[in-house]
Structure 1
Amino acid sequence: MLGRLVRILLALTAVAPLSIPLAYLYARQQQFLWAALALAGCLALGGLAWIIIVQASRRLEPLPIAIVKAKSADKEVLAFFIAYALPLIFRNPVSAPSLDGWLFAMLLLVFVLWSTHTLQVNPVLGLLGFHFYEAEAQGGITYLLITRREITNLKSIGHVVQIGEYGVLEARRPSGASA
């Protein structure tokens, strides 16, 4: 399982697209350095999400679970993108973006993630081609399953690793590993 700090970093990567409207707002205010920094932050967080998922897939121990039911959770990615557009819609057109407000919101998010077992759909991973499923295991526990594939047959779900208390990642089977 991923450590708490790495899980929080992965969750924080979900806010990377917020940097895009922030960059737009800075650019409209002719603050191009801040706009470039916001875009660089978006790309850095996206790269971090990719690295965490690839390393988890390669290094974490497989979890022996049997998935008995799965339901797509991809629709939640749309909710994230709608929320990302809100700063563009509901803002004072004269004022510059409030960096301290964004940082305060980020700190609140870190607090919530640190104190809970939350693992949510990550729109950055969605953009990188991952799909999300609410997957119920044989014991009745529901996990968030992250996979590169669209699941059409539950029996096709094989090698998974646990990335959080209630999060699993379908991992590529290491070369040379047997079924």
Structure 2
Amino acid sequence: MLSGFARVALTATAIAPVGFTYAAVAALNERYDIMLLLMFGSAILVHICVWVLNATKGKNAPASETYPITTVEPADRENTAIILLYLMPLFTADFNDLNWAIWIPTLLIFAVIAFTSHSYFFNPLLGLYGWHFYKVGTPEMVTRVLISKKTIRKGNCNIVGVDLGDYVILDTE
């Protein structure tokens, strides 16, 4: 199980869109140095997470197991609040007017909540790389998050994968 490192990587990627939004605000205010730093940092976070998922899924991955699933549904449809967090920096027209005493604690609180509550499965940047997040039910009546490159449209099937952490499975096929 890659619990700690995988969760940190997924959480970092879940908050990376905020960095891209801050970069847009910085560019609008001709603060290109900050824009480049934010874009580079956010891109690195996304690439590290994709690397973690691909390495875990690859040939040197931990032993895979078969997981029977009974139900499946998209895992990212109730996240309007997270999208608002991504867009909040755009509500401030001037980069110098951003109240960092509010913004930084807000981002840290979001990161802690995403890390501890398994909310990191809303990850639009990983979707650009072809990763999908599903809520799947098991015969034991436990709901888990499945991360997969496949489009899964029906339950009552078996998934071959590895545990990334509590209630998170990475499809390895």
The TM tier, using the shorter chain, reads: 0.7 to 0.9
TM-score by length of 2: 0.82
Once the two structures are superposed, residues 40-72 of structure 1 have per-residue CA deviations (whole angstroms, 9 ceiling, x without a partner) of: 112111101111111121213223321011112
Alignment match, 1:129: 130
Alignment match, 1:85: 87
SS at the partner of 1:140? Answer: coil
Conserved in 1, the CA contact under 8 Å of 2:75 and 2:135? yes
Of 52, 60, 63, the match for 1:61: 63
Structure 2, unpaired ranges of 5+: none
SS at the partner of 2:96? Answer: coil
SS at the partner of 1:40? Answer: helix
Amino acid of the residue matched to residue 153 of structure 2? T
Deviation of residue 6 (structure 1)?
A: 3.5
Deviation of residue 146 (structure 1)?
A: 1.2
Conserved in 1, the CA contact under 8 Å of 2:29 and 2:94? no
Deviation of residue 154 (structure 1)?
A: 3.3
CA distance in 2, matches of 1:60, 1:109: 30
> Using a 3 Å threshold, how does the CA distance of structure 1 residues 80 and 128 change in structure 2: closer, same or farther?
farther
CA distance in 2, matches of 1:43, 1:35: 12
**More divergent stretch after superposition (119-128 vs 148-157):** 148-157
TM-score by length of 1: 0.80
How many equivalent pairs are there? Answer: 170
Structure 1, unpaired ranges of 5+: 173-179
Alignment match, 2:43: 43
> Using a 3 Å threshold, how does the CA distance of structure 1 residues 121 and 110 change in structure 2: closer, same or farther?
closer
CA distance in 2, matches of 1:110, 1:81: 14
* Root mean square deviation, CA, Å: 2.5
CA distance in 2, matches of 1:165, 1:120: 13
Bigger strand fraction: 2
